[in-house]
Each structure stands twice: as C-alpha cells, then as structure tokens.
C-alpha cells in the first residue's frame, strides 16, 4: 500500500479505538491503521462500517438508561436526518433538537421523544432484535453513556457488554 501523500510505503497495524464517533463508552477493536513513516500520513479504516453503525444503533436503542446528547446525535445521523428533519418528525422546534444534543447543559429529551427516536432506529433493524415490550423499560433513568466493546468477527460485528 502506497501513501497517497508522498508515495512512500505504508505500514499497517490493528488498533483498538475508544470514544468511537465521540461516544465516550464505546470501544471498537480491530481498526485498521495505515501509517506512512516518511510523511506521517495516517489512514484509518473500519471493516463493514454500515453493520458497525447498525449494531451500535441497536445497542443504544436497547440500553435502559436515558440517551446522552452524543448518543442522540449518533442516532439522528444514523437515520440520515438533519436537526430540522428530526424536529419535524418529533413535532418540536429545531432549537429543541439542538438543545437535546448540546453537550454542555443539555435539555432532557423526555421518555416519549426518546422512545420514538429509539423506535425509528430499530425500524432499520430485523424485527426480532427489538420486542416492543422492551420500550417500557427504557429511558426511565437519567442518561448515562452506553458501555460496549465492538469486535469485528467473520459473521459481523459482535458486542461485549459492558466495555472496560
Ligand atoms: Zn507519506
């Protein structure tokens, strides 16, 4: 593999990354990192990113504690929605959405909006993964980050709970 910047040859290694997508409790293993010793260029690649995001979205939808602002933002972008798209679907203003996602003194989303967002996320998943009775148990406690460790396996991304 040649460096795109200088044409030098790159070395490859596998790394474990913490805080994937800014999610403070999420650890992703098996991340490919290519490094160019000549110019310092680094290329990072994740195997099967779509399935990685789908796995993470499902874990977020299933977690019992409320969603943190970063997790709300992750689910919104996973759904391909802008702040105003989500605002329209939820029947709130887009200022409200940005306050939900604000790291510093966020506005609590509230269980109804949160359960709706989780439902939107699981709609993208195989139905068997999320029995609807589960909804009554989620978002009942204060927001704490999801703690997971994701490992790339032949059959796709596997999850270990909780990550340490
Ligand atoms: Zn280089």
Distance 44 CA to ligand 1 centre (A): 14
pLDDT the model gives residue 21: 92
Count the neighbouring beta carbons within 10 Å of the beta carbon of residue 79: 16
pLDDT 10s digits, 57-93: 999 998 999 999 999 999 999 999 999 999 998 999 9
Distance 1 CA to ligand 1 centre (A): 11
Distance 32 CA to ligand 1 centre (A): 17
Distance 35 CA to ligand 1 centre (A): 8
Q: How far apart are CA 111 and CA 158, in angstroms?
A: 28
> Judging by beta carbons within 10 Å of its beta carbon (0-12, 13-18, 19+), is residue 100 exposed, middle or buried?
buried
For the chain, give the percent of residues with pLDDT over 90: 68
pLDDT 10s digits, 119-141: 999 887 665 566 667 777 788 78
pLDDT 10s digits, 42-61: 999 988 888 999 999 999 99
Q: For residue 55, what are its two tokens?
A: 């796995």
Q: How far apart are CA 109 and CA 91, in angstroms?
A: 13
Distance 2 CA to ligand 1 centre (A): 8
Architecture of domain 64-145: Orthogonal Bundle (1.10)
pLDDT the model gives residue 124: 74
pLDDT the model gives residue 163: 64
Write down the mean pLDDT value for the chain: 89
Q: How far apart are CA 117 and CA 139, in angstroms?
A: 11
CA of residue 1 relative to chain centroid, distance: 29
Give the least confident one: 11-15, 22-26, 123-127.
123-127
Distance 105 CA to ligand 1 centre (A): 42
pLDDT over 70 at 115, yes or no: yes
Domain edges within the chain: 1-48+146-164, 64-145
């Amino acid at each position: 593999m040649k460096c795109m910047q200088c044409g030098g040859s790159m070395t490859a290694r596998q790394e474990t990354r913490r805080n994937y997508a800014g999610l403070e409790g999420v650890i992703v293993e098996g991340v490919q990192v290519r490094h160019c010793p000549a110019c310092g260029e680094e290329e990072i690649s994740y195997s099967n990113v779509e399935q990685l995001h789908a796995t993470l979205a499902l874990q977020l939808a299933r977690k019992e504690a409320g969603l943190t602002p970063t997790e709300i933002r992750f689910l919104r972008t996973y759904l391909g929605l802008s702040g105003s798209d989500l605002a329209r679907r939820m029947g709130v203003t887009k200022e409200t959405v940005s306050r939900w996602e604000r790291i510093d003194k966020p506005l609590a989303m509230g269980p109804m909006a949160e359960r709706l967002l989780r439902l939107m996320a699981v709609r993208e998943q195989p139905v068997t993964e999320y029995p609807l009775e589960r909804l009554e148990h989620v978002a009942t406690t204060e927001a704490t980050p999801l703690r997971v460790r994701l490992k790339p396996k032949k059959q796709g991304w596997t999850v270990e709970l909780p990550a340490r």
